[in-house]
A = this chain, B = another copy of it.
C-alpha cells in the first residue's frame, strides 16, 4: 500500500497543477481527461481520480450557484423556461439572467445590480475583462447620494425621467435625463441623481471601464455618515479633518457620526422640485466639451423598414466616446419581425433587452459542437486553432432585463414575439472601424462574391446560389418566422375560403 500511494500522489499532483493553470469553465472535462491520460495509474486509482474531479466540480458549482438574487427581475417571470432545456443553458455563457447579477446596493427605494467580471463567467470574455455592466433602478421621487468612482462610465437611460448632476473640474452641471439619453461620466467625477417622476421607476444601464485595477471599480462617498453609506471623510483621523476643514471635532462628529438611511433615499417633493429646474438634455459645458449628452432616438435610424429600426451613437455623434472606443446602438424589432443574421466585424456587443420578448440565435465556433464532431478532430491544443470545424447553435429566449454578449465575428439573429416589439440596446466595445455585415437580404456578403467563388464555395451552380441569396429584398430587418407563418396561415385561410 505504501508503494501505491506516492504514485497516486504524483497523479493528483499532475491533475491539480494542470487544473490550476487552466480556467474554471472546462475544469470538469479537463480534470477527467487528465485522469484518463495518466498512463501509470491503476483502474482503482483512476476511479478515485474521477471521483475527485466530480467532488471538486460539484463543490465549485455550488459555490457559483450559491448567490441567488433575492430580488425580482425587471418584471416577474410569467412563464418557465419550458422550451430551452438545462443542457442548452449550461453550454451558453453568453446569456446573463437575473441570477447572474450581484446586488451592489439595495434599499427600499432602489438598487444597483452589477454583473460579475465577465471572465468569471468564461475565459472567452478575456477581451472585455476591463469592462463591467451595471443597472441602476431608482423608485419615484428618490435621490442617489453623491459619490465618485474609479472607472470611466457610459450611461444609457432605459426608462424614466431623472436629473443628473456631475461635478468635475470645479463646476457642477445638471441636466434632466429621459429615455435614450447617452452620457459619458469621466472617472473621478462626483455624481448624484434624482428620479423626479412621481410614478415611474428610473432605469439606467451603465458600462464601466476601470482606470485603476482592471475590471474592478469602487465607489467613494463623501456625503454619508458612520454607516450606510460610510463617508470616506470618516476614514481620516479627526486631527486631520479638523485641520483640513478648519472645524472643531464635535461639529465634525455630528456630521460624520450619524447612521444614514442608505445610498438611494426618498426625497421630498420640494427637494425634487428644487433639483429639477434644468433644461432637458441641456448644454453641458465641461472644459469646452461640446455636448454633455446625446439622445439615441434623435439620431436618424441607420436601418429602417416596417420590420424594425436601428439607431446608433458613436464618436462622430458624441465626441466624448472617442477615447473609450465604445459605440451604442438600439434596435427596435417590430412584433413578428426579425433582425439578421448579421455579424459585427470588430466590436463585441454587450446587449440588454430593454423591452419585449423573443429569441436569439448565434453561430459559435468556441463551444463544443452539438454533434461531437469536433471532439473527434481537435485536441485541447488544436481547439484554439481549428478552422471551420463547425459551429454550435447558441439559442436563448429573450426577455426584459436579460443581457447578451455577442462577440465580434459571430453571426447572430434576433426574433421578436408576434405580440410585442422587441427592443435591444447595445454597448459596442472596440467600436472604431466596426462594420455590421449582413448575411441575408440586400447586399449580403454572399451575393457580393464572384460567380466562380459561389460555385466553388457551395458546390452548386452559381445561378442557384444567387437565386437564394438574392430572394430577400429587405435589408437588416425582415419578416420573422412567426410573421411568415401567420401570413402563410392567413393566405391558406383565404385560399380555403
Q: Encode A218-237 as 1/0 by CB contact (under 8 A) with B.
A: 11111111011110111111
Q: Does A13 contact B (CB under 8 A)?
A: yes
A468/B387 in contact, CB under 8 A: no
Q: Encode A268-312 as 1/0 by CB contact (under 8 A) with B.
A: 000100110000000000000000000000000000000000000
B218/A145 in contact, CB under 8 A: no
Which of B232, B265, B346 is close to A363, meaning CB atoms less than 8 Å apart?
B232
B365/A170 in contact, CB under 8 A: no
Most chain B CB within 10 A, of A165, A172, A219, A456, is at: A456
B478/A104 in contact, CB under 8 A: no
Complex Cα gap A435–B46 (Å):
56
Within the complex, the shortest CB–CB distance from A389 to chain B, in Å, comes to 7
Within the complex, the shortest CB–CB distance from A258 to chain B, in Å, comes to 6
Chain B residues, Cβ within 8 Å of A448: 167, 170-172
Interface segment out of the listed A87-95, A198-206, A243-251, A396-404:
A243-251
Which of B143, B343, B413 is close to A220, meaning CB atoms less than 8 Å apart?
B343
Chain B residues, Cβ within 8 Å of A212: 127, 348, 407-409
Q: Does A140 contact B (CB under 8 A)?
A: no
B409/A188 in contact, CB under 8 A: yes
Q: Does A491 contact B (CB under 8 A)?
A: no
Interface segment out of the listed A71-79, A110-118, A418-426:
A110-118
Q: Which residue from chain B places its CB closest to the CB of A452 in the assembled complex?
A: B271
Chain B residues, Cβ within 8 Å of A227: 373, 390
Given contacts A104-B385, A243-B338, A338-B243, contact A168 B55 (CB under 8 A): no
Q: Does A147 contact B (CB under 8 A)?
A: yes
Complex Cα gap A120–B384 (Å):
12
Within the complex, the shortest CB–CB distance from A48 to chain B, in Å, comes to 5
Q: Does A368 contact B (CB under 8 A)?
A: no
B213/A452 in contact, CB under 8 A: no
Q: Which of chain A's residues 123-158 have a Cβ closer than 8 Å to chain B?
A: 123-127, 132, 143, 145-150
Which of B112, B408, B441, B455 is close to A271, meaning CB atoms less than 8 Å apart?
B455
A452/B9 in contact, CB under 8 A: no
19 A–B pairs (Cβ distance < 8 Å), ordered by A: A10-B52, A13-B16, A17-B56, A116-B384, A127-B213, A165-B450, A187-B408, A187-B409, A188-B408, A212-B348, A212-B407, A222-B439, A224-B457, A233-B363, A235-B363, A239-B481, A247-B472, A258-B460, A274-B451
